[in-house]
């Protein structure tokens, strides 16, 4: 393995990439077209459609954000095991312009006044304060307003795009630099401050896109909650991609059992981390027993969401924790691929739990007496069934397929292997102790 000869021509997508791009684009466009028709036919002024669109959008965004973390942490730590995997993550990282374009449909609920009288807006209630918490929402107007919201989104994506372009540019420079390792050391120098900026922007973006769906609620740990899902998503995506490449003999002698083992270990670790953060958020808010904070969980622990909350615990934590516990599972390519797909779906289910209860939430909750004070308790609209139909599947699938098409397009323009990285020889001979 140490004497492995690198031939850049061997590590390119070629026709496989072109075929993947065509097929993924076709499936993505068709899925979104059907979803648009279903959203129009639903007759609720597109409220259901845009809640599902936010579901799919934050899903693909999480994969892209996870890739930023992966690339940065490898440079910060000087890891050598991931050298052959990092180019795939860099390719995913390059999709932020595409993800930004995917977010353009969300301008409609952001700028539209349709549905404001009954629902307080199509998606984000703070756009048109209405109901029991209107005064509280109006108090946050300095932050939650359309102009500042759009400015923040432009800033977030500006930061992410610049990061992606810098690290991709330097990585390609290293490909063409021969024995000159200055591009690699430049990336290491920039990685640490970039991580700080990444943490701030990811946290703020999760507050804007997800937490503000219930502007009366807040959690200081919510950014970490979303971050944990992002990391799970990228490790799962990398495992699936590596398997796809090896099935087509595109990365012969590059990925080995040891690389899958490490990806599996990180996937398992962040399943545990997600469970810890989810429990911490629940425990702290419940213990404080502040109505503005506990209301978010009360909605999810009442019909029709009670069983979903239990299912989230079992499907997203208990089952994958037990399934990924074995060393054998993490070292088996096909078994790890199964769990990678499972975790992507589990992550999507987690986002469903975060977003869709707000779609079923009654405009005015129930006023009850608590400790001698009248308080408003959020509930789902009476008689509401779970929003679980074709759009919940088709929109995330459609956006994911377009995202994959973008990854295939970028990957087809350069070698899949960072051929001149100074850590590559050590990576090719990597073995876990």
Please choose, from the candidates 229, 211, 145, 233, the residue with its C-alpha nearest in 3D space to the C-alpha of residue 355.
211
So what's the pLDDT on residue 235? 96
Does residue 342 sit within a domain? no
- Spell out the residues 6+ positions from residue 315 whose beta carbon is closer than 8 angstroms to its own: 346, 349
144 and 136 Cβ atoms separated by less than 8 Å: no
CA-CA distance, 420 to 423, in Å (whole number)? 8
CA-CA distance, 59 to 353, in Å (whole number)? 12
Please choose, from the candidates 231, 270, 205, 229, the residue with its C-alpha nearest in 3D space to the C-alpha of residue 353.
229
Average of per-residue pLDDT values in the chain: 88
Per cent of the chain over pLDDT 90 is 58
Phi, psi of 193 (to 5 degrees): -65, -30
Question: Residue range 359-377: average pLDDT?
Answer: 61
Model confidence at 258: pLDDT above 70: yes
CA separation, residue 119 to residues 123, 134, 221 (Å): 9, 12, 28
Lowest mean pLDDT among 6-20, 104-118, 198-212, 369-383: 369-383
Cross-strand partners of 366: 377
What is the dihedral sign for C-alpha 247, 248, 251, 253?
Answer: positive
CA separation, residue 175 to residues 88, 188, 280, 388, 417 (Å): 14, 16, 44, 47, 9
Does residue 351 sit within a domain? no
Query: Which DSSP letter does residue 385 get?
Result: P
Tokens 């009670």 belong to residue = 306
Does residue 257 sit within a domain? yes
So what's the pLDDT on residue 335? 95
CA separation, residue 402 to residues 14, 300, 398 (Å): 19, 31, 6
Q: How confident is the model at residue 377 (pLDDT cuts 50, 70, 90)?
A: low
Model confidence at 143: pLDDT above 50: yes
Bond preceding residue 137 cis, omega within 30 of 0: no
Q: What does the buried/exposed string (b/e) look like for 201-216 if buried means 16 or more CB atoms within 10 Å of the residue's CB? A: bbbebbbbbbbbbbbb
Does residue 96 sit within a domain? yes
Q: Which helix (H) or strand (E) holds 369?
A: strand 366-370
CA separation, residue 28 to residues 356, 382, 421 (Å): 22, 35, 35
Does residue 378 sit within a domain? no
Model confidence at 254: pLDDT above 60: yes
Helix (H, G, I), strand (E, B) or coil at 264: helix
Does residue 270 sit within a domain? no
Model confidence at 7: pLDDT above 70: no
CA-CA distance, 379 to 428, in Å (whole number)? 55
Which domain range does residue 199 map to? Answer: 8-262+391-428
Cross-strand partners of 380: 361
Does residue 256 sit within a domain? yes
So what's the pLDDT on residue 3? 42
pLDDT tens, 92-115?
999 999 999 999 999 998 888 654
Does residue 92 sit within a domain? yes
Model confidence at 168: pLDDT above 60: yes
137 and 144 Cβ atoms separated by less than 8 Å: yes
CA separation, residue 144 to residues 103, 139, 174, 215 (Å): 18, 9, 43, 9
CA-CA distance, 400 to 379, in Å (whole number)? 32
Q: How confident is the model at residue 121 (pLDDT cuts 50, 70, 90)?
A: low
Model confidence at 132: pLDDT above 60: no
402 and 105 Cβ atoms separated by less than 8 Å: no
Q: How confident is the model at residue 2 (pLDDT cuts 50, 70, 90)?
A: very low
Please choose, from the candidates 245, 247, 261, the residue with its C-alpha nearest in 3D space to the C-alpha of residue 415.
245
CA-CA distance, 168 to 166, in Å (whole number)? 6
How many structural domains comprise the chain? 1
Question: Residue range 298-313: average pLDDT?
Answer: 91
């Amino acid at each position: 393995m140490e004497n492995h000869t690198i031939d850049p021509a061997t590590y390119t997508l070629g026709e496989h990439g072109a075929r993947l791009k065509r097929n993924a684009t076709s499936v993505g466009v068709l899925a979104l077209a059907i979803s648009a028709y279903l959203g129009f036919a639903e007759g609720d002024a597109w409220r259901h459609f845009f809640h599902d669109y936010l579901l799919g959008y934050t899903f693909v965004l999480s994969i892209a954000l996870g890739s930023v973390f992966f690339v940065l942490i490898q440079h910060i730590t000087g890891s050598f095991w991931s050298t052959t995997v990092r180019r795939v993550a860099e390719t995913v990282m390059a999709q932020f312009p595409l993800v930004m374009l995917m977010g353009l449909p969300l301008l409609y609920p952001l700028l539209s006044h349709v549905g404001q009288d009954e629902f307080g807006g199509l998606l984000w209630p703070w756009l048109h304060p209405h109901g029991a918490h209107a005064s509280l929402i109006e108090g946050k107007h300095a932050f939650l307003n359309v102009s500042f919201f759009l400015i923040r989104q432009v800033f977030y994506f500006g930061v992410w795009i610049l990061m992606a372009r810098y690290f991709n540019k330097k990585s390609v420079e290293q490909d063409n630099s021969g024995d000159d390792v200055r591009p690699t050391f430049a990336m290491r120098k920039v990685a640490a401050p970039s991580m700080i900026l990444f943490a701030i922007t990811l946290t703020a973006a999760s507050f804007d896109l997800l937490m503000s769906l219930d502007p009366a609620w807040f959690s200081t740990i919510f950014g970490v909650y979303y971050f944990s899902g992002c990391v799970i998503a990228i490790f799962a995506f990398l495992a699936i991609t590596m398997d796809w490449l090896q099935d087509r003999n595109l990365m012969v002698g590059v990925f080995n059992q040891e690389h899958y083992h490490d990806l599996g270990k990180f996937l398992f670790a962040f399943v545990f981390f997600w469970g810890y953060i989810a429990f911490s958020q629940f425990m702290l808010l419940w213990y404080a027993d502040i109505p503005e904070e506990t209301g978010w969980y009360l909605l999810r622990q009442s019909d029709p969401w009670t069983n979903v909350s239990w299912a989230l615990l079992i499907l997203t934590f208990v089952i994958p924790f037990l399934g990924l516990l074995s060393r054998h599972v993490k070292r088996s390519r096909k078994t790890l691929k199964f769990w990678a797909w499972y975790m992507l779906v589990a992550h999507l289910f987690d986002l469903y739990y975060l977003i869709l209860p707000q779609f079923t939430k009654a405009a005015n909750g129930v006023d009850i007496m608590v400790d001698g004070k009248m308080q408003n308790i959020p509930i789902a609209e009476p008689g509401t069934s779970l929003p679980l139909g074709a759009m919940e599947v088709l929109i995330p699938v459609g956006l994911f397929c377009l995202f994959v098409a973008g990854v295939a397009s970028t990957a087809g323009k350069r070698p899949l292997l960072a051929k001149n990285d100074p850590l590559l020889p050590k990576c090719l001979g990597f073995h876990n102790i």
